[in-house]
Amino acid sequence: MLPLPLLNVLLITPLLFLSNTLSQPINYSFDLNDKWEGNCPPGWNSTLSAHLKHSDRWNFVCRTNEDVGGIWPDNNLYQLFVKSTGMPDHVSETDGTVSTPTAAQLSYKIKIAKPLPSLTSHVLRQNPSNVNTLGINIPVGFAVNGVPFYSSLTSNNVEYVQGKGVKKAHDDCMGYYSSNNEYYYATAPPCLFATADGKGQGKDWEGKYDGYTFGNGFGEFIRGDDSRLRWSRKMEGAPFVIGIALDGYFIYSPFDSNGEEHTGLDNCNGKEYNGTYAYFSTLHFPYTVGCFGPGVTEDTVLNTTITTSSTTKCKPGRYARDVNHKQCLPCPAGRFNSDGGSCKNGVCDGFTDGQCSGMCEEGYFCPPGSSSPREQACGGVRYYCPEGSKERSVVDAGYYSTPLDEAEEFGEFNGTRSREGRKRMINSFTRTSQTICPRGYFCNGDGHRRACSAAGSYGNVTGHTNSSCNGACPLGHYCLPSVGNPIPCPAGTYGGETGLKSAGCSGLCDKGFYCNPNSTWSTQAACPAGRYGGEEGLKTEDCSSSCDGAGGNCDPTICEPGYYCPSGSVSGKENECGGEGVFCPSGSGTPTTATAGSYTTGSYSIEGKPQSEFDVTRRFDEAVCEKGRFCVAGKKDLCAPGRYGSSTGNIKPNCDGPCKEGYYCPEGSTSETQIRCGGTNFYCPLNSSVPLAVPEGYYSKLGGVDTRSDAEQCPAGSYCVNGVARLCPSGRYGETVGLKTGECAGPCKQGFYCEEGSTSFTQSACPVGRYGLGGSGDSTCSGKCKAGYYCTLGSWSVTQLQCGGDMVYCPEGSGLPLNVTVGSYSVGGNSTTRVGEEVCAVAGHVTPAGVYTVKNDAGDLNGCPSRTRSENDVGVRPRPAQLIDIDVVTDILNTPGQHVHVDYNIDPENEFKYEQGYPGNV
């Protein structure tokens, strides 16, 4: 709360006898920050420092007459100079609204350290119920925090704190506001202290105070042996100084060290205390200072002035005794006189006997000298006052004071800080009688009627005096004030402790459990497996709040599909089912293991569709594994690649068997001939999951064009493209396996020819009389040998070998030189490249000298060339035996089919060597 507003205190001249004898407003100036002690009487330094709260809002200092230059008539009196703004040290808040008061300017001097006063006749003229006794809107003292005390009377003598029909507005700390918006107290201020001060809960009270509860500020909650919080007014060190009156006497808190209200107080609310006089605040009028004491008590006996003058009149509360005893005497206790009276020469105009105006009103008591039928409120629930009460009567144990107000109908044994609790703590201050405690209650003599159940007990007889009553309310039961015997805790609740006092017992049954009547545990009975208790306070094993009016038939809760609910579950989704291998239909208490050959299904994993990861832990059914699938532990997978499943319910990855040769089966296939392999460039062996591409240099085999099942490397003499094997083309050869193109290994070698499918670059030698330039594909090679030259087997040039000399010649296509026939000579070409022969018409032969001669020794030369061959030519040697091609032999030697020995001459200049087979170099 925010700081309270400053209280405005009017500085007016004290009324009646107060103006010159008690306290005076002063104008003496001193700094609010001065050291407060000043020139104090012996021992008062510690007294003032212990009680008054010096601050910049509230300053006080001791002074004597000498200190101020002898300007006061009371030369030997000590004075306490006080100066205050009236600002409280707590927040002024009313129902959550904070107010800001106006700062006052209050300065007073108060006589202190006075001797114990003696009774004087002026006390007879002091009536606490008359506003003129103390005045209105002026201080009668100051609280220890500097806020002034005012009288609690209105201008027409009506008490406004608890008064009937007239109550002034106050804040939550019982602070009032004057017409100038200045702040003051009319009762003991409940927010004066804090819990830490050890003088009561004070400003730490969580609620607001009012005219009946302000005394709670001077008590506290304590925890008893049974661990229950109880309200206690018993404070160590009580009573505490709460202020100082303007006559210099301290004002004390409302309870003594035993927590009891003060007794023996006079009509000014004071009594002798610790060797001097002091005021004691009360819970009823006049609350703080009723008049400046000492005042009168019931036993006070005073002689009064004889009323011989016609102007003399007895004050209210007094009467003229009789015509012969011209005295004003107090009305006897239990009676009152509101008008007073007077006597003159034996004639009285008022009451002349002790009956006064009449008897004190019930609910109130009238001490001697009372002027009102409601002189003093009876004072609290522990007291009662029948009509004509002289003093308040203490309620007996086993009884309570009456009448009760609504707030106390069931009296609360344990104090509480709630607004409703405060109402229960507020009791009427005008009780008129006592009544025996009824069944279900106990009355310990403090005037309250408290429910046995409030103390956790039950009572089935009247007149109980303590909280144990008949005994503690048993487990599983509660006890009500109006019912003598324990009542079973209703279904849905439990009684886990003794001493329960409402149908709510210890509380609602925990979620996941239900409680039949008389239950003693919040977990009395677990909801069955497959059900759940999502609310507290369930009553039956159906664990449902959806019941008929009588609560006997309930729609049971059902665990949701995809989840399982063990006993004691609190949600329809207590536990996710757990994984692919289990499923949970609605109402499952535990997961169900999937059947072999089946798979689990759910909201996303729909039968006939692939299973989804989004509901893998929340499956609620199962389905038989389809064709092409296998199912293990609730999981559906496609049959392995290369395998097929033509039946349902497969449990192995291999399903029904391997895919057939020439076909392939992707995962999930349902037939052994699922897909044809596809073409010559692919092959599919047994168990194929995809077609295999025939590697380069290989060809596919076995099966039809599109169902090949194997591949083999291309053999020598072949090449393979797109899985098809082809012979190497003529003119080329393939000497290695695995050839990939029609180029094979290369062209056939010079001098040779390679027919289709050849495996060697020298596969076949070009025949004699022919030559091969390379890449020849058949026996014709590149063509015939040129005339004048001859080509032996395997020749690679059209002019492979020169024919050799004049005695030989080589026509086109010669495989060997031909000897010139005797009697003929070679023609064409030159001497080494003769291409033919002609017959010489003249007989003779050629000599070594190249001269043709005739046999007749005539010595004549004829026309035959010198290279004409004769039988006698020298240098002719036999030709090596050779196998001569039949055609050549036929053409040349005209001797078909025969091997002939031919000779040829030796050319000394151009001699060639001939060998069978491949010729050497020239």
> Which carries the bigger pLDDT value, residue 772 or residue 197?
772
- What does the pLDDT look like over 119-167, one tens digit per residue? 554 455 577 878 778 888 889 999 988 999 999 888 888 888 887 656 7
Quick one: pLDDT band at residue 788, thresholds 50, 70, 90?
very high
- What per-residue confidence (pLDDT) applies to 726? 94
- What per-residue confidence (pLDDT) applies to 891? 42
pLDDT at 764 over 90: yes
Task: Please spell the DSSP secondary structure of 93-141, one letter per residue.
Answer: EETTEE--PPPP-EEEEEEESPPPP---GGGGG--TTSHHHH-SSS-SE
Quick one: pLDDT band at residue 402, thresholds 50, 70, 90?
confident
> Which carries the bigger pLDDT value, residue 896 or residue 788?
788
Angle at 110 between CA 104 and CA 112, to 5 degrees: 145
CB contact at 8 A, 314 and 336: no
pLDDT at 52 over 80: no
- What per-residue confidence (pLDDT) applies to 96? 82
Q: Are strands 276-280 and 250-252 parallel, antiparallel or unpaired?
A: parallel
Q: Mean pLDDT throughout 504-526?
A: 92
Q: Mean pLDDT throughout 689-713?
A: 94
Residue type, position 143, single letter: A
Distance CA 144, CA 104 (A): 16
CB atoms near residue 516 (< 10 Å): 18
pLDDT at 388 over 80: yes
Q: Mean pLDDT throughout 410-429?
A: 43
Handedness of CA 862, 864, 869, 873 (dihedral sign): positive
- What per-residue confidence (pLDDT) applies to 67? 61
Q: Mean pLDDT throughout 656-678?
A: 95
Which residue in 64, 5, 60 sits closest to 33, CA to CA?
60
Q: Mean pLDDT throughout 446-455?
A: 80
Which residue in 447, 360, 446 sits closest to 400, CA to CA?
447
> Which carries the bigger pLDDT value, residue 449 or residue 14?
449
Which residue in 911, 884, 879 sits closest to 899, CA to CA?
884
- What per-residue confidence (pLDDT) applies to 756? 94
Extract long-range pairs of 342-347: CB within 8 Å, 24+ residues apart: 342/307, 342/310, 342/312, 342/313, 342/314, 343/307, 344/307, 344/308, 344/309, 344/310, 347/323
Q: Mean pLDDT throughout 79-97?
A: 86
pLDDT at 24 over 80: no
> Which carries the bigger pLDDT value, residue 752 or residue 49?
752
> Which carries the bigger pLDDT value, residue 349 or residue 39?
39
Peptide bond into 610 cis (omega under 30): no
Q: How far is CA 467 from CA 405, 413, 437, 473, in A?
A: 22, 9, 12, 11
Angle at 704 between CA 701 and CA 706, to 5 degrees: 95
Which residue in 16, 433, 364, 313 sits closest to 159, CA to CA?
364
- What per-residue confidence (pLDDT) applies to 109? 80
- What does the pLDDT look like over 562-586, one tens digit per residue? 999 999 999 999 999 999 999 999 9
Distance CA 539, CA 508 (A): 10
Residue 813, both tokens? 């296509």
Query: Against a cut of 0.85, is the pTM above it?
Result: no
Distance CA 127, CA 372 (A): 11
Q: Mean pLDDT throughout 77-88?
A: 83
Counting Cβ atoms within 10 Å, is residue 482 exposed (0-12), middle (13-18) or buried (19+)?
exposed
- What per-residue confidence (pLDDT) applies to 267? 85
Quick one: pLDDT band at residue 356, thresholds 50, 70, 90?
confident
pLDDT at 498 over 60: yes
State phi, psi for 471 to the nearest 5 degrees.
Answer: 140, 175
Question: What stretch of H or E contains 425?
Answer: helix 419-425
Q: Mean pLDDT throughout 357-372?
A: 82
Question: What stretch of H or E contains 423?
Answer: helix 419-425
Angle at 577 between CA 574 and CA 583, to 5 degrees: 140
CB atoms near residue 647 (< 10 Å): 14
Lowest mean pLDDT among 208-222, 588-602, 603-617: 208-222
Distance CA 733, CA 747 (A): 6
CB contact at 8 A, 117 and 275: no
Quick one: pLDDT band at residue 888, thresholds 50, 70, 90?
very low
End-to-end CA distance of the chain: 137
- What does the pLDDT look like over 176-210, one tens digit per residue? 999 889 999 999 999 998 877 788 887 877 778 88
pLDDT at 597 over 60: yes
Handedness of CA 190, 193, 196, 200 (dihedral sign): negative
Q: What is the largest CA-CA distance in the chain?
A: 242
Q: Which string of b and e fits 844-863 if b means at least 16 CB within 10 Å?
A: bbbeeeeebbeeeeeeeeee
- What does the pLDDT look like over 633-654, one tens digit per residue? 999 999 999 999 999 999 999 9
* Whole-number percent of the chain with pLDDT over 70: 75
- What per-residue confidence (pLDDT) applies to 629? 95
pLDDT at 37 over 90: no
Task: Please spell the DSSP secondary structure of 357-415, one letter per residue.
Answer: TEEPPTTEE--TT--STTSEE--STTEE--TT-SSPEEPPTTEEEESPPGGGTT--SS-
State phi, psi for 253 to the nearest 5 degrees.
Answer: -70, 165
On average, the pLDDT of the chain sits at 78
What radius of gyration do the chain's Cα atoms show? Answer: 72
Residue type, position 62, single letter: C
Distance CA 278, CA 874 (A): 189
pLDDT at 309 over 80: no
* Whole-number percent of the chain with pLDDT over 90: 40
Distance CA 341, CA 324 (A): 15
Residue 250, both tokens? 């301290």
Peptide bond into 294 cis (omega under 30): yes
Q: Mean pLDDT throughout 10-39?
A: 42
- What per-residue confidence (pLDDT) applies to 289? 93
- What per-residue confidence (pLDDT) applies to 729? 95
pLDDT at 767 over 80: yes
Residue type, position 690, single letter: V
pLDDT at 810 over 80: yes
Lowest mean pLDDT among 235-249, 471-485, 717-731: 471-485
Residue 921, both tokens? 């170099």
Distance CA 416, CA 399 (A): 23
Residue 161, both tokens? 């704190």
Q: Are strands 450-451 and 457-458 parallel, antiparallel or unpaired?
A: unpaired
Distance CA 509, CA 190 (A): 42
Quick one: pLDDT band at residue 470, thresholds 50, 70, 90?
confident
Quick one: pLDDT band at residue 620, thresholds 50, 70, 90?
very high
Enumerate residues 6+ apart whose C-beta is below 8 A from 785: 769, 770, 771, 791, 795, 798, 799, 800, 810, 812, 813, 814, 815
CB contact at 8 A, 388 and 358: no
- What per-residue confidence (pLDDT) applies to 406? 45
- What per-residue confidence (pLDDT) applies to 813? 93
HEC assignment per residue over 4-73 = CCCCCCCCCCCCCCHHHHCEEECCCCCCCCCCCCECCCCCHHHHHHHHCCCECCEEEEEEECHHHCCCCC
- What per-residue confidence (pLDDT) applies to 617? 94
Distance CA 521, CA 724 (A): 88
Report CA 238 to chain centroid distance, whole Å. Answer: 51
pLDDT at 762 over 90: yes
Distance CA 740, CA 186 (A): 123
Enumerate residues 6+ apart whose C-beta is below 8 A from 686: 658, 659, 660, 661, 709
pLDDT at 431 over 80: yes
CB contact at 8 A, 640 and 665: no
pLDDT at 841 over 60: yes
